[in-house]
Amino acid sequence: MSRVNKISRAAGQHRTQPSAARAEFRQRSIQKTLAMLLVIPLVSLIGLWAFAADNTIGTVLAKYKSDAASQDMGSQTQAILQNVAAERKDTFVFQNGGRHIARTALDAQRAKTGAAAAAFRSGVAAAAGDLTAPTRSVINAILAELAELPAIRSAADEQILTPVEVFQAYDNVASSFFTLARSTEENPY
CA angle (64 as vertex; 60, 68 as ends), nearest 5: 170
Q: Is the pLDDT of residue 97 over 70?
A: no
Alpha-carbon torsion, ordered 159, 163, 164, 170, to 10 deg: 90
Mean pLDDT of the region 131-140: 84
What is the predicted pLDDT for the residue at 102? Answer: 76
Q: Which of 11-25, 59-73, 105-119 has the lowest mean pLDDT?
A: 11-25
- Alpha-carbon distance 120 to 76, whole Å? 5
| pLDDT score of 60 more than 90 | no
Say if residue 83 is exposed, middle or buried (CB neighbours under 10 Å; 0-12, 13-18, 19+).
buried
| Residue 150 in this model has a pLDDT that exceeds 60 | yes
Closest by CA to 129, choosing from 184, 185, 61, is 61
- 180 CB burial (10 A radius; 0-12, 13-18, 19+): middle
CA distances from 173 to 94, 117, 135 (A): 19, 11, 17
Q: How far apart are CA 188 and CA 95, in angstroms?
A: 40
For residue 12, pLDDT beyond 60: no
Nearest to 139 by CA among 149, 150, 125, 152: 125
Residues 120 and 126: their CA atoms lie apart, in Å, by 10
Mean pLDDT computed over every residue of the chain: 81
User: What would the pLDDT profile of 77-93 be if each residue is shown by its tens digit?
Assistant: 889 999 999 999 988 88
**% residues pLDDT > 70 (the chain):** 79
pLDDT, position 51 = 94
Q: Tell me which range, 32-36, 70-74, 102-106, 116-120, is most confidently predicted by mean pLDDT.
A: 116-120
Question: How many Å apart are CA 147 and CA 114, to the nearest integer?
Answer: 10
What is the predicted pLDDT for the residue at 105?
Answer: 86
How does residue 159 score in pLDDT terms, banded at 50, 70 and 90? confident
pTM of the full predicted structure?
0.64
pLDDT at 23 over 70: no
Residue 116 contacts residue 76 (beta carbons within 8 Å): yes
8 Å CB contact between 36 and 101: no
Contact predicate 117/66, CB 8 Å? no
